[in-house]
Structure 1
Amino acid sequence: MMAIFSSCSKVLNDVDDLSRYPTEGTFEDPLTATAYLNNLYARSLSGWPVNNGTYSDESKGIIGDGAITTDNGTMKYWPYAAVRSINIFLKEMSKSTIPAAQKDPMIGQAKFLRAFLYFKMVYYHGGVPIIEIPQELTDDLKVKRNSTAECFNFIIKDLDEAAKVLPAKYTDNDRGRIDQAIVKSFKGRVLLYKASPQFNPTNPYGNAYWQDAYTVNRDAKDFLDLNGYGLLEDFKKLFETKGHKENVFSVIYVNPAKTNGRGEDGIRPLSESKNATGNDEPIWAMAEAFPMKDGKKPGDPSSAYSYNLQNYWKNRDPRFDATMVWNGELYELSGIKGRRQYTMAGIAKSMDAFGFVIQGENFSRTGFYTRKGIMEELPSAQVTLNDVDWPEIRYAEVLFNYAEAANEIGKPAEALAVLKAIRHRAGIEPGIDGMYGLKVGMSREEIRTALLDEKYVEFMFEGKRFWDLRRHRLLHKLDGMHKYGLMATAVNGRTVEEITADDILKANRFELLPEHFTYKVVELITNGPKAMVMPESYYFFPIQLSNINQNPNLEQNKNWGGNFDPTLH
């Protein structure tokens, strides 16, 4: 495979044959043009971000020293093959004889997909070369990177042009296609990043981009409200039903045509799965992040609910029950009524137990599993038939984006209204003061932290946490972090060595409850590096060296051996 470069309007591509072009007539027939566009969707969008929490404080695994280098492919994003295909589509559709009423919305969808790809490149690497037409072998392919500011302008231009030709909302068989609701919501995400400390380290919260982010996100929220979107009343049903009002932008999965975007076969405990396990296992820090039912932090003296290690699961934020699975908890996988998940060695199925190492990993089970996005009714033999949609954008994210920007421009009441709405939907008690456990009179900084803390819980394993910390330049919270799990060390006072046949019989009958066990917080890493390493250089990842070697005009980022400044200053 060769990598090729171009000018400001023509850029790097990873294709085997740049002369390859779609068959003549492809873009004159609505059916074949639609098929080409559908392929662009498939190449541009992915499913659930499994194990993204490894990079943060959500799930197990340590990101150690040297995990990201200029040589390896870790945290690199360079999708110019897909960009070229989108540009082919845009070029050919611009002169297609398909009626404008049909082709214009297709052009709008393609422009969104191009903006989507460019935005990901920008928040990974900063400014990248901009391409707007398909490059040819005769072009000058060795070009420089565009500035980050130019790339943001390009992304926003594509989104604005897309919104002009798209319907307000696609429904029924067209659900999942790009519409105005998606474009407006995504533009809010883009502008939130543009305003963020990641891109503005010298003026992180006082720059003028925050006003732009507020205006666009408020307008997106208002547009969604007018078009029937909103918070789904029951958080538990978010990932159990399709096409509901909270999912603004869904990557659609349908059994048997397209399945297992969630990767359920690697997330379930192995006793009710096949081939793999160990993905998206919550760590103790993730469990502790959930507040109590009254919205107070666990152990907060002002909470109405007592808390200690031995009954940590009691009286928690209802989202804890909806997404976490712990030792002795009901988890009716494979349709097994009354099934409880055990994690204590000697009681659990051996491959599910804390401390069990399958193939010499440097870590073990965490003592927790997740039910988010899992189809519990599937038998283990059919576990890969999971067809839960991936919610790339849900209404809750738009609310958070709006609240963040509101807080930074001096509108704390609007930000607090969002926090209350999210907590109300979660089922947290409002309290006498109607604050849902939130502190009265919070400062701008305290509201900022409260929003990040709430997202940590609300979007567990939805690929937000690491990028939120990075966006706010808070990776120091992860740097040096050790990861812990929760081990059940005894059942009814008996240790692993003292377990009786009656204990095992009760486990087989699912009669052992969480309160029958004794618990201990234990560090997960058994050998090798134990601390997370998150240096300053990770605020922008490097361009992969193989790409630079093929085009010396591609300048490397600062902190990675080059002079390119990926910030907006």
Structure 2
Amino acid sequence: MQLHIHKKYLLLPALVALMLSCNRNVLDVKNLNAVEPKLTWTDPKLANAFLANLYNRVMPNGWPARSAALYGGLPVDEKRGVINSTTIQTTSHPWSGSFEDSYADIRQVNILLKEIESGTLDAATKDKIVGQALFLRAYSYFLMVRVYGGVPLLLEPQNLTDSLKVPRASTAEVFNAINTDLDKSIQLLQGQPFVDGDKGRIGLGAVLALKGRVALYKASPLFNPAHPYDNAYWQDAYNANVTAKTQLDAMGFGLNADYAGIWSTGNEGNKEAVLTVKFTAPTKTDGRNEQGARPLSQTANATGADNPVWSMVKAYTMKDGYPAGSSPNYAYSDQTFWQNRDPRFNASIVWNGSIYETGGIAGRRQYTDDILATATDSYSPNPSTSNWSFTGLYARKGLQPELKAAEVAQNSVDWIEIRYAEVLLNLAEAANETGHTADAITLLRQLRQRAGIEAGADNSYGITTTNRDAVRGLIYNERFVEFIFEGQRFWDLKRARTLLSLNGTVQQGVASTLKPSNLPVDNAKKNAYGYVSEDFNYTINTLYRTTVDNVTFTLTDNVYFAPIPLAQIQKNPNLKQTLGWGDGTFNPTLE
């Protein structure tokens, strides 16, 4: 098969602005568009520029709200928006990017892996580039296998004009290919926590952590519905995550000292960041979508992104680690739902009357009620007004409140694709399923200690059970609050095969109304942000799609794996459709 490499896939001008994974001198070459393809693999700068383009193609282009291709933007019980049977019954499935685009990305990785072997790069340079490229191919296939199960395995470059006539490999074969690439990458990146010390590039830590994540998925109920917690893959997951944690510890990774500080400017590349997509103002900005996440009065013509729902609020424990309503130390009421909660609540969520100093306005409080809030921020869910779909809550995590409203697009908070906390929770889950429940509890307590939850007299951090099933539930809830807005919740419910537990439920928000004792409004007090959260009454309301139609979750069992897009099957009759979709016969599980 003759290989044609088009220059547009090599060194586009966009690479100059990209620089997400390479030092500036890597791209310091003249007339990039005039470079002959064969020279790419003789010059380290050109080879690394090709690699930088692969990073840009494969890795997320920001936080989940900016990365629908990787995360689907599906909110489930975390943030506003409901998925149901009509959402998923489409030929272009919302849980992944374009099927065809995924293979275009893989093709470019395959070109690198093939062509670099005929180049003249020194062994050390070549090994580092190949190690990163193998990770990117493994990552690409992982994103697909968790959506579709088995997919065609293409490990050699094809012509751009070739038709895809390759049948689907089994799910087991795809997992094997992913692990083969990761194992090779591990060998090539030994001694490289980050390649060349650049924290925007893949290193050994990222490869080990991804291998642990992949193993956790492979062992999960998603792929093993008949043997969800008694299959042999759990031991593999445990071993992989023990190795990842051990090596990450040795390389100096660990939990950041405080939860909120993980995403604070000036603390980029902290020791929790195992794999980072860098953002730097003014060249690469707003990966967090601050423009959409802020209240409308404090942004520029956009709002409504990442608005937490009431089920997210209820997921946080009290500050002693006990569930709301079960704490022996702190009473809970919906009327004071923000009081004495897990500190991650305040670090992540803005509620009515809470301090939210956007635009650098000292002491500014965010109001969402229908009286004190500006017309643009009146955001309480109320079916009798136009606010029938609003939650009364905003996002705080990952935003830069010091930015003025006109500057919101300059948000430069890095996206951390893999952080150390995930490795701890991956290990905790695998430990719990392999007879190491006590170790799992220790890891959970470590996360809660960092969060600022009180240890208690017995140093339990609110965890008093040793029951395997109960600890499993605690792990999933810990992931829920730890990873809010990080695109993990939907995939956790999918991985655990618990998405259908949402059926019949509705999303809710919290409406706020000034107490009668605070009326009429004191304008001086209002203008000084003098009304506090306790000055309001709160009502939990259902979110509505229209003023008369509330939306419930209605999911069926075929949601766990996506259909191959019909257009792809029409192009390639060798592709079998997924079981549960049309006349599909392909089994995407490992059973």
**TM-score, shorter chain, exceeding 0.5:** yes
Residue 509 of structure 1: CA displacement? Answer: 1.3
1:356 deviates by 7.8
CA distance in 2, matches of 1:198, 1:370: 30
Deviation at 1:361, TM superposition (A): 8.6
Deviation of the 1:492 alpha carbon: 4.7
| In structure 2, C-alpha distance between the alignment counterparts of 1:446 and 1:318, rounded to whole Å | 23
TM-superposed CA distance for 1:22, in Å, is: 7.0
Q: How much has 1:53 moved relative to structure 2?
A: 6.5
The one-letter code of the counterpart of 1:197 is P
Closer, same or farther: CA 343–190 of 1 in aligned 2, 3 Å: same
Per the alignment, residue 64 of structure 2 pairs with 49
Tell me the distance in 2 between the aligned counterparts of 1:155 and 1:161. 10
1:108 matched to 2:119: no
Which residue number corresponds to residue 548 of structure 1? Answer: 569
Q: Confirm whether residue 403 of structure 1 aligns to residue 423 of structure 2.
A: no
Aligned position for 2:485? 461
Q: In the alignment, which of 237, 242, 247 is matched to residue 268 of structure 2?
A: 242
User: Are 1:168 and 2:192 matched, yes or no?
Assistant: yes
Q: Identify the residue that residue 475 of structure 1 maps to in structure 2.
A: 499
- 2:418 partner SS: strand
Structure 2 counterpart of 1:535: 556
Cα separation, 2, equivalents of 1:315 and 1:38: 46
- Provide Cα deviations, 1:96-143, integer angstroms capped at 9, x if missing partner: 101111111101101100000000000000000011111126867312
1:272 to 298, 321, 340: 298
Match of 1:233 in 2: 257
**CA-CA distance at 1:162 after TM superposition:** 0.8
Contact 1:182-1:249 within 8 A present in 2 as well: yes
The answer on whether the counterparts of 1:62 and 1:529 sit within 8 Å (CA) in structure 2 is no
User: Are the equivalent residues in 2 in contact too, given 1:352–1:365 (CA < 8 A)?
Assistant: no
Does structure 1 retain, via aligned residues, the 8 Å contact 2:503–2:555? yes
Query: Structure 2: how far apart are the matches of 1:211 and 1:28?
Result: 43
Q: Distance in 2 between matches of 1:394 and 1:110?
A: 20
Identity of aligned residues (%): 47
Question: 2:380·2:387 contact (CA, 8 Å) conserved in 1?
Answer: no
Task: Tell me the equivalent position of 1:63.
Answer: 83
CA distance in 2, matches of 1:88, 1:172: 23
Distance 1:321 1:465 in 2: 19
The CA distance in 2 between the partners of 1:318 and 1:137, in whole Å, is 52
The residue that corresponds to 2:46 in the other structure is 32
Q: Does the CA-based 8 Å contact 1:294-1:437 persist in structure 2?
A: yes
> Secondary structure at the residue paired with 1:250?
strand
Q: Deviations over 1:447-505 (max 9, x none)?
A: 100100111111111111111111011112222220100000224546xxxx5352x44
Aligned to 2:169: 146
Which of 151, 161, 180 is matched with 2:204 structurally? 180
Could you tell me which runs of 5 or more consecutive residues in structure 2 were left unpaired when the two chains were aligned.
Answer: 13-34
Give per-residue Cα distances to partners, 1:271-294, cap 9 Å, x unaligned.
000121000001111111111111
Q: Partner residue of 2:588? A: 566
| TM-score calculated relative to the size of structure 2 | 0.89
Question: What is the TM-score of this pair, normalised by structure 1?
Answer: 0.92
- 1:39 to 1:140, Cα distance in 2 relative to 1, 3 A: closer
Q: Which amino acid aligns with 2:202?
A: I
Distance verdict in 2 for CA 1:274–1:532, change over 3 Å: same
Q: Distance in 2 between matches of 1:141 and 1:444?
A: 46
1:105–1:165 CA contact under 8 A, matched in 2: yes
Of the three residues 220, 228, 231, the one matched with 1:207 is 231
Work out the number of aligned pairs and report it: 547
2:370 aligned residue: 345
1:283 aligns with 2:309: yes
Residues 485 and 404 (structure 1 numbering): CA distance in 2 closer, same or farther, change over 3 Å? same
Q: 2:526 corresponds to which residue?
A: 507
Pick which of 511-520 and 56-65 moved more: 56-65
| CA apart distance, 1:312 | 1.2
Report Cα offsets for 1:380-416 as digits up to 9, x if no partner. Answer: 1110111101110000000001111111011111100
Q: Encode CA deviations 1:536-568: one digit per residue, 9 max, x unaligned.
A: 111111111111111111111000121000000
Shift of 1:168: 2.9
Q: What letter is aligned with 1:108?
A: G
RMSD between aligned residues? 2.3
CA deviation digits over 1:24-78, x for unaligned, max 9? 3122111111111001001101121128664321101111331012423422442
